[in-house]
Amino acid sequence: MKRRQEGSVIVEFAAVLLLFVMFVFGLMDFSRLLYTWQVANEATREGARYAVACADPSSNTRIQARMKALMPQISSVSVVWEPAGCDSTNCEAVTVSVTDMKFTWISPIPGAATKPLILMPGFSTYLQREMMSYNPLIC
């Protein structure tokens, strides 16, 4: 081996390893983003199911607590009952929405001094009460 080429393999390995590690971190963060998206969507579904079967318009905090048990980083939850001003005996439907969720990117991004936040879209679920009536004994 010539004297000029003795360290070239280590330099090439370091360059390829750096690219590989950046790719793996990016893949992990994208997977976390998809997971967060799915859990937020499922939290709105669970909140709407709970509202339809076990809650009334005066207990929106119980719905929020149920949703935060699935996803603690939920900050703002909106529960809208239909028709407006109904009570537990005559509500027909509910819409549960989550807004203002932010996803924190954890992979090191060259040139970024702080970890960027990605604003996620709002998630919403609408369910009708139909045959399921409010029953506080089963909730």
pLDDT at 126: 92
Enumerate the domain spans of the chain. Answer: 3-128
pLDDT at 52: 84
pLDDT at 116: 67
Separation of CA 82 from chain center:
26
pLDDT at 113: 58
Picking from 87, 80, 102, 100, the residue whose alpha carbon sits closest to that of residue 134 is 87
Spell out, as residue ranges, where the chain has pLDDT lower than 70: 1-5, 109-116, 131-139
Helix or strand holding residue 21 (H, E): helix 8-54
Supply φ then ψ for residue 20, to 5 degrees.
Answer: -65, -45
Picking from 3, 51, 37, the residue whose alpha carbon sits closest to that of residue 120 is 37
